[in-house]
């Protein structure tokens, strides 16, 4: 039988994985995990995600005030608003991978029908304009952009937020999005024209993989 990890251990593993993929720089990014109907676990302010240990997390109230508790990540309100509006979400990840962040600083379109994996894992991407990080304005904008069915939001000139029912599910979306952004940037740099598989093929993929496939 697989060994069930304690909650913070799941996020520690994600941090190491994000570092190995080259998605991290400095102390940017933050992770959180819903723990109950009233609280969630979130990384602390100023932590390096690829060097997390059990002391780098804080339990935060779901309906607390902005900035509460003060030792939590500066983006705590972003996570809080998402959990408040999406009871199905168990994990929130905010990162700034290089290709994703590059695209977030441009007007490049991101067609999610280029390959089956992008169609299945990403679904409909959302995008919000630049809003000062750490503010409730940004938190509300991202939560609204996610709505009830989206799973990934690009924050212009900032990075990405991905959500899921599990930490690995949310992280897979980050991986697939970074792959997509790399494809698009590389193709544009080479003067290539991208060709997707089309709406009918995407619909068939999602139907064959079932409702869970978008997650």
**How many structural domains compose the chain?**
1
Flag whether 208 is in a domain. no
Has residue 209 got a pLDDT over 90? no
pLDDT value for 210? 62
Is the pLDDT at 3 greater than 50? The verdict is no
Give the pTM: 0.92
Residue 190 belongs to a domain: no
pLDDT of residue 74: 95
Share the mean pLDDT of the chain.
Answer: 92
Residues spanned by the domain of 143:
7-106+123-167
> For 18-29, what is each residue's pLDDT tens digit?
999 999 999 899
Considering the domain boundaries, does residue 83 fall inside one?
yes
Q: Look at residue 200 and tell me if it is in a domain.
A: no
**Is residue 197 a part of any domain in this protein?**
no
128 within some domain: yes
CATH of the domain at 161: 3.40.225.10
Task: Note whether 108 and 185 are within 8 A (CB).
Answer: yes
Residues 152-176: pLDDT tens digits?
Answer: 999 999 999 999 999 999 999 999 9
Q: Is 35 within the bounds of a domain?
A: yes
Q: Which long-range contacts (CB under 8 A, 24 or more apart) does 166-171 make?
A: 166/90, 166/91, 167/10, 167/11, 167/13, 167/14, 167/31, 167/33, 167/90, 167/91, 167/93, 168/14, 169/91, 169/215, 170/91, 170/92, 170/93, 171/14, 171/17, 171/18, 171/93
Alpha carbons 51 and 198: distance in angstroms, whole number: 42
- Which two tokens mark 16? 């190491």
């Amino acid at each position: 039988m697989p060994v069930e990890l304690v909650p913070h251990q799941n996020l520690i593993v994600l941090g190491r994985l994000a570092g190995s993929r080259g998605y991290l720089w400095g102390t940017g990014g933050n992770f959180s995990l819903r723990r109950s109907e009233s609280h969630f676990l979130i990384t602390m302010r100023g932590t390096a995600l690829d060097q997390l240990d059990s002391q780098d997390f804080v339990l935060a109230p779901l309906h607390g005030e902005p900035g509460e508790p003060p030792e939590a990540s500066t983006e705590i309100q972003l996570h809080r608003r998402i959990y408040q509006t999406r009871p199905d979400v168990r994990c929130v990840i905010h990162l700034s991978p290089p290709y994703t962040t590059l695209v977030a600083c441009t007007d490049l379109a991101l067609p999610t029908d280029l390959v089956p994996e992008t169609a299945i894992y990403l679904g409909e991407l959302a995008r919000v304009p630049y809003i000062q990080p750490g503010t409730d304005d940004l938190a509300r904008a991202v939560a609204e952009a996610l709505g009830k069915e989206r799973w990934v939001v690009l924050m212009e000139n900032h990075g990405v937020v991905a959500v899921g029912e599990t930490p690995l599910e949310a992280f897979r979306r980050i991986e697939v999005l970074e792959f997509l952004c790399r494809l698009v940037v590389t193709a544009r740099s080479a003067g290539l024209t991208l060709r997707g598989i089309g709406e009918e093929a995407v619909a068939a993929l999602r139907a064959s993989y079932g409702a869970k496939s978008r997650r």
